[in-house]
């Protein structure tokens, strides 16, 4: 019990320290979503600590993911008028992004001659992790690989997203929200909120719609690729 409490406190401490450093020195390499996993993985490996022992304390944080996701509804409600006004744009933008994510993932897997199991595992990577893992299991993929691919997708979207926004001169908060929410799910929302609450709200609804489309479309699209 003491060990579990220590790991819980350590995880929280690493997060807040990295968050403080990021607020002082806003460099992408210091982003908590990058620093925390790196520090924790290195610490566990160096200390020879199994994930099972670590998760005895850290699972309390993992269990908070679902209520935290639901809490996004508060931000969505605050900007409900913006979402209603731009509903068509959001639906078209997210729909195209979600569809292209599935097709390009499956297409690249086919081009690289990866096994069907790996192709099925990578196809739903742009959805939020719980949905992506569920879809992967439904279509014959390997959920652990899907979880890793989803995490990498989120981190890459968080890193590359700001560059895309800058180079393409995307100044509209709705467009920015679609970019981050569709391509990088929860990690994208975290980055989108740095641009403003409107961008964060659109990113939140984009993430949810992407997850829904991924759940509905992936099984049918993968039939075509097989």
Within a 10 A sphere around the Cβ of 133, how many other Cβ atoms?
A: 21
Three-state SS annotation for the chain: CHHHHHHHHHHHHHHHHHHHHHHHCCCHHHCHHHHHHHHHHHHHHHHCCCHHHHHHHHHHHHCCHHHHHHCHHHHHHHCHHHHHHCHHHHHHHHHHHHHHHHHHHHHHHHHCCCCHHHHHHHCCCCCCHHHHHHHHHHHCCCHHHHHHHHHHHHHHHHHHHHHHHHHCCCCCHHHHHHHHHHHHHHHHHHHHHHHCHHHHHHHHHHHHHHHHHHHHHHHHHHHHHC
Q: What is the pLDDT along the chain (226 residues), one digit of tens a residue?
A: 557 788 888 888 988 998 888 888 877 778 787 888 888 888 888 888 887 778 777 777 777 766 766 776 677 777 778 888 888 999 999 999 999 999 999 889 888 888 888 899 999 988 888 888 888 888 888 888 888 888 888 888 888 888 888 898 888 999 999 999 998 888 888 888 888 888 988 998 898 889 889 989 898 888 887 7
As a whole number of angstroms, the distance between CA 111 and CA 103 comes to: 12
Output the pTM of the full model.
0.77
Q: In this structure, are residues 204 and 94 in contact, taking their beta carbons and an 8 Å threshold?
A: no
Token digits of residue 119? 């192709």
């Amino acid at each position: 019990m003491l060990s579990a409490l220590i790991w819980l406190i350590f995880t929280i401490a690493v997060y807040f320290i990295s968050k403080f450093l990021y607020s002082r020195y806003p460099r992408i390499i210091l982003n908590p979503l990058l620093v925390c996993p790196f520090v924790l993985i290195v610490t566990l490996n160096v200390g020879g600590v199994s994930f099972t022992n670590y998760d005895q304390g850290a699972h309390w944080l993992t269990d908070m993911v679902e209520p935290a996701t639901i809490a996004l509804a508060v931000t969505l409600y605050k900007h409900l008028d913006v979402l209603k006004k731009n509903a068509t744009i959001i639906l078209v933008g997210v729909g195209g992004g979600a569809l292209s994510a599935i097709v390009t993932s499956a297409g690249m897997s086919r081009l690289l001659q990866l096994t069907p199991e790996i192709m099925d595992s990578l196809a739903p990577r742009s959805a939020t992790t719980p949905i992506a893992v569920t879809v992967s299991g439904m279509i014959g993929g390997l959920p652990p690989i899907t979880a890793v691919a989803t995490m990498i997708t989120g981190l890459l979207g968080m890193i590359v997203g700001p560059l895309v926004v800058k180079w393409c001169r995307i100044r509209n908060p709705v467009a920015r929200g679609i970019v981050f929410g569709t391509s990088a799910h929860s990690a994208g929302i975290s980055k989108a909120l740095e641009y403003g609450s409107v961008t964060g709200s659109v990113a939140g609804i984009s993430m949810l719609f992407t997850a829904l489309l991924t759940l509905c479309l992936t099984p049918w699209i993968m039939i075509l690729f097989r």
